[in-house]
């Protein structure tokens, strides 16, 4: 493979990359000044029609790195028609499909480019209508693109460039066969671009099969020296998924950040957690791809002004943020790539500033914490979730600190309350009056609350579910487990916080765990890591999903095809 050479020092900004004027004007309007390293290295070989294999973490600017060359080479026939899109971008999730589509539309607005996102969970008929009218670039999830191919509602014979974005994530979600089938429908002489946060052997296998002498670019793995790492205190709390909202609130109560970013995986998780935190008394704002630019600007303005305390955001939405007063970064889930973790915690370690990075890890995510420690060459301290006693002690300490702060200020301002004090102490002991006042202040600021203990998680259990015989694909049961009487293991209660769904398709239809994960994640937008135990029988299957997402998953799968078939989908009916 070839390796990209960095642009020369005499090249100024995006103009030095040779992009067409309409794109430079759009970039200026969007506030882009200098290309990021991945953009500077990837754009020149892509403009020369080389295949590219790039390793880049979230937040490095890779969307523009592949989108700008696509748009630079854009042309349309004189009558505006064509046999199909000229470019296809495959992404793992519906959220990313929307975000990439919006970015491409923003960059190419001056060119009149027609961009269409296609993904599950929305009526396919609308997508079919737009495809018939003609589109130039399709951004889609593999499952829905394959669905369109099966219906013959999309024609990929004119595709000149295929982009596989977040390729490792797509493979994790079980889309490998779908990607192969889609690539088989595109011209052999196409340009192929593959971006991935990590480069496991299976990514190399795809590159060897589908890319021709690709230029290899690697900017995702930062070069870190222990002495140059951000000044960040790193810690992690092991907590079961069902207790994560309560655990996060308790940790924030103890830490009392001046300003913090809480990173979530999906916009749905962002909205739900923002509501929970506001209900706990925090001033929290959501930031994700569903916000308009005006809404985003208002959120950031409130954060910088100090009227907002917590920013709950997705990785992509928080891209490029540098907030001077930021003291904490919280990973509500362990990032899927170590590089993403490093990128996040660097937000509180800039310009010599101190900060704290906190990660909430489920038991099965402990192995990824070890991987992150190897990359950063720094330990991540495993802490216990604060107990009720510790939380109450911290709240009392804050009450005391508030009183001390008032006493350290202008005490002459207290004179107007002397009359009230005199009246109260005429009938009561002054100590009782002081205690009553402290109690009122303490309760007004949250008091002791009705907190219950959060059960601890064993620290020594390193992904044990992945090591049990007969399990694969993240510990999901592919054998079709049975109960003590030898019958299918139905009717058992789902894990806490989860719902078990019944699907009328099983082993006889060739169903595998990865097919199930790919269908659920691709159609509903649910993250693959939030899908629980999978049981596959001859004629049906059972799968656990978070209770809060169960109805959404059912609705999304009812219009979907799995292994080329539509299947009955409903909540499991337990044995009587």
Do the domains 464-571 and 2-218 match in fold?
no
pLDDT tens for each residue of 354-372: 789 999 998 877 878 888 8
- Residue 474: pLDDT over 70: no
Residue spans per domain, the chain: 2-218, 226-386, 389-444, 464-571
**DSSP-based three-state secondary structure for 275:** helix
Closest among 120, 116, 148 to 560, alpha carbons compared: 120
**DSSP-based three-state secondary structure for 243:** helix
In this predicted structure, which of 77-86, 457-466, 520-529, 550-559 has the lowest mean pLDDT?
A: 457-466
Closest among 12, 64, 5 to 34, alpha carbons compared: 12
What's the CA gap between 194 and 66, in Å, rounded? Answer: 9
Locus of tokens 């296609």: 118
What integer is the mean pLDDT of 286-297?
Answer: 78
The architecture that CATH gives domain 2-218 is: 3-Layer(aba) Sandwich (3.40)
pLDDT tens for each residue of 119-128: 987 789 999 9
Measure the CA dihedral 332/338/344/350, to 10°: 140
CATH topology for 464-571?
A: Alpha-Beta Plaits (3.30.70)
- Identify the bridge partners of residue 194 per DSSP, sorted by sequence position: 53, 164
Tell me the whole-structure pTM to 2 decimals.
Answer: 0.51
Q: What is the DSSP string of 452-516?
A: -PPPP--SS--SGGGGSTTEETTTEE-S--B-TTSSB--SPPPPTTEEEEEES--GGGT--HHHH
Cα distance between the two ends of the chain: 61
Closest among 137, 167, 169, 131 to 151, alpha carbons compared: 131
pLDDT tens for each residue of 373-403: 877 778 888 888 888 777 777 778 878 878 8
What integer is the mean pLDDT of 170-180?
Answer: 85
Q: For residue 472, how many other CB atoms are within 10 A of its CB?
A: 14
Residue of 327 and 321 predicted with greater confidence: 327
CATH topology for 226-386?
A: Rossmann fold (3.40.50)
What integer is the mean pLDDT of 317-343?
Answer: 77
- Residue 476: pLDDT over 80: no
What's the CA gap between 282 and 245, in Å, rounded? Answer: 13
């Amino acid at each position: 493979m070839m390796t990209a050479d960095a642009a020369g020092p005499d090249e100024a900004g995006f103009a030095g990359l040779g992009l067409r004027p309409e794109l430079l004007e759009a970039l200026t309007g969007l506030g882009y000044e200098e290309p990021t390293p991945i953009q500077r290295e990837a754009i020149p070989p892509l403009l020369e029609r080389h295949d590219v294999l790039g390793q880049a973490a979230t937040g490095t600017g890779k969307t523009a790195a592949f989108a700008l060359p696509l748009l630079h080479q854009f042309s349309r026939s004189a009558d505006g028609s064509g046999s199909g899109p000229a470019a296809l971008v495959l992404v793992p999730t519906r959220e990313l499909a929307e975000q990439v589509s919006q970015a491409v539309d923003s960059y190419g607005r001056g060119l009149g480019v027609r961009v269409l996102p296609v993904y599950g969970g929305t009526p396919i008929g609308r997508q079919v209508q737009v495809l018939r009218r003609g589109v130039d670039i399709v951004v889609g999830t593999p499952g829905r693109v394959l669905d369109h191919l099966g219906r013959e509602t999309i024609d990929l014979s004119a595709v000149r460039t295929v982009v596989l974005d977040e390729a490792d994530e797509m493979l994790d979600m079980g889309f490998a066969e779908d990607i192969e089938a889609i690539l088989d429908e595109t011209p052999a002489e196409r340009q192929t671009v593959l971006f991935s946060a990590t480069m496991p052997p299976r990514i190399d296998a795809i590159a060897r099969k589908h890319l021709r002498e690709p230029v290899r670019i690697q900017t995702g793995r930062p070069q870190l020296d222990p002495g140059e790492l951000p000044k960040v205190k790193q810690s992690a709390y092991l907590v079961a998924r069902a207790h994560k909202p309560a655990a996060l609130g308790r940790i924030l109560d103890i830490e009392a950040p001046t300003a913090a970013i809480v990173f979530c995986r999906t916009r749905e998780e962002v909205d739900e957690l923002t509501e929970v935190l506001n209900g706990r008394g925090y001033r929290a704002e959501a930031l994700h791809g569903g916000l308009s630019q005006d809404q985003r600007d208002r959120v950031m303005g409130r954060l910088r002004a100090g009227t907002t305390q917590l920013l709950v955001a997705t990785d992509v939405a928080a891209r490029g943020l540098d907030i001077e007063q930021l003291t904490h970064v919280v990973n509500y889930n362990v990032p899927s790539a170590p590089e993403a973790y490093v990128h996040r915690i660097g937000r509180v370690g800039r310009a010599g500033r101190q900060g704290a990075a906190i990660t909430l890890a489920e038991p099965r995510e402990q192995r990824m914490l070890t991987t992150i420690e190897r990359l950063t060459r720094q330990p991540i301290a495993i802490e216990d979730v604060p107990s009720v006693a510790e939380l109450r002690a911290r709240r009392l300490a804050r009450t005391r600190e508030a009183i001390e702060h008032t006493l350290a200020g202008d005490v002459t301002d207290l004179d107007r309350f002397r009359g009230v004090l005199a009246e109260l102490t005429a009938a009561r002991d002054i100590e009782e009056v002081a205690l009553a006042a402290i109690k009122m202040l303490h309760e007004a600021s949250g008091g002791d609350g009705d907190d219950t203990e959060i059960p601890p998680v064993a620290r020594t259990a390193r992904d044990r579910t992945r090591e049990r015989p007969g399990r694969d694909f993240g510990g999901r049961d592919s054998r079709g487990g049975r109960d003590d009487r030898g019958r299918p293991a139905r009717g058992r209660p789902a894990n806490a916080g989860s719902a078990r769904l019944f699907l009328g398709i099983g082993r006889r239809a060739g169903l595998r765990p990865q097919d199930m994960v790919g269908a659920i994640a691709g159609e509903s937008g649910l993250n693959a890591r939030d899908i629980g135990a999978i049981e596959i029988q001859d004629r049906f299957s059972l799968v656990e999903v978070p209770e809060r997402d169960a109805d959404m998953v059912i609705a999304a799968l009812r219009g979907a095809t799995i292994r080329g078939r539509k299947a009955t989908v409903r909540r499991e009916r337990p044995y009587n």
